[in-house]
Structure 1
Amino acid sequence: MAQTSERKSKLLGSGDILVSFEFFPPKTEKMEETLWSSITRLAPLGPEFVSVTYGAGGSTRERTHATVTRLLKETPLKPAAHLTCVDATKEEVDAVAKTYWDEGVRHIVALRGDPAQGTGAKYEPYPGGYKNAADLVAGLKAIADFEISVAGYPEKHPESPSIEADIENLKAKVDAGADRIITQFGFDNTHFLRFIERARAAGIWVPISPGIVPIHNFKQVAGFAKRAGASVPSWLARRFEGLEDDSATSHLVGAAVATEQVMDLVDEGIKKFHFYTLNRADLVYAICHLLGLRSVRTANADAA
């Protein structure tokens, strides 16, 4: 890690860092209000793009589409729609992709996807469907010149037999046409930095953005991490000890932990970050402010 006197993160200004935000489509009217409140709060920070997730088995297909369409029509943001291979034929996936293109969506996050049956179910390619993410990327590039992001796993995908096999799979996605890698979130930067080294050694040179999840609820996020194959360091668990019923302090600790993580990555030369917002703007906005990002409205006012 860089010495304090040399810390790049202490010198950050507007324009030094690029961020992107991930949201999930709302299930209820109240969740809809929370989502758009978060989007309104974060949009002035000028993210590179914002992505909208897609449930297992395409369970949120219509809600994902509705959210992406509204983002395109009502905001200046660049929306990226998630697409998966699960429970759909190639023709069905292609039809969704063509609709997105016709509506003006140019960015897709292409994922294999999780089985609709949920945790523990074994993934099987859908009859007549894309067999994996690399196959999906190639199919999307054949339809139109989409900008395509794919997933990377610093601690390997839970189903991969080895780290080496995981990197081979990642290279297949890039060779198929992927333009960017967004990693699964993690809390130990060592894993991310080693992942970068392995990817570059394998000839993978597209941009790689670390996934960052600010912790609002430690138990919930730890559960997400377990299912995704991301480790939860013991030191991290200790920082949240005794805060189960103290959300205010838990949020302060969560902000401190995420800020420490991103600042350390900045000191290692990382300049792009992808935030899994969980449809919450508060911690993400604060961390972005510390990264040097400023509201477009504020910047314009200062210039005036």
Structure 2
Amino acid sequence: MRTAKKTIKKVSLIGLGQMGRKMARMYIDAGYEVTLWNRTLEKTREFEDVNITESAQDAIARSPFVIICVYDNSATLDILNNLADQGVLEGKTIVNLTTGGPDEALEIEKIVSAQKGNYINGAIQVAPDQMGKESTTILLSGNKKAYDEHRSTFDILGGNLKFLGEKAAASSAMDLATLTWLYGSYIGLIYGVSLGQKYGLDLEDYSRIIGEITPGFTEFFQYEIDVINRGDYSITQSPLPISIAATQRIADSFKELNVLREFPEAIKNILEQAGEKGLGNEELAAIIKVINKQV
């Protein structure tokens, strides 16, 4: 009686920064045959029982599934454009987890697709230490057939994979959208700290209250996104004039502080323009019309 030979899954990783090294360890621990390439060999020396190649070309050739995670997409494009033979991409699934913009994703997709390769663009939403957990969120988009074929290999990276469709640029666009929300919220948070310091508030109280009110505001934000999606700005939750007055108070309060005033002034100005353009009888979400220059 013959015993079926177990097929060892293979993965190649190009780029051994903190995230690249973390992913390499995860695939080694999962029993994959791992091939590594990095511009400098020094970062490969900590690894044992892996294949170390002298070129990105060789790393791509050794595995059907290739992850690129380098400093930026200029580096990704440099690697792909300088392959000795781009034909090595044929039949390969190239997963680019390098942080970059939507236009760069489309440019990389064009290179891979021209060689009959499968391209999947991704954006990791966590730090290296949060990889491989059930809550680990990774945004992915591109070749759906390749994504389904290699789903078990993707699953090693995290439990909350979000496949956003066949358009490769979608994951980068979503990454930028969520980062825009994140940094806007974070800057507002720090301005709140500054105001609290001015008036002698206990920052532990501020931190605690922020944590307590965040879930409710998250529901409100989701509701307002739905308002925009439906295109119905009838007042249901938050009349726009309330926020015009509130953002005026915020801007006024920071006039008394020795701080950069551009952020509170920008918020106030957007709401002021909404009022001036006749949106006073609409839901707060109607400010999208001002931001998108629709009025």
TM, length-normalised to structure 2: 0.31
Q: Which has the higher helix share?
A: 2
- Higher-Rg member (1/2): 2
Greater RCO structure (CA 8 Å; 6+ sep): 1
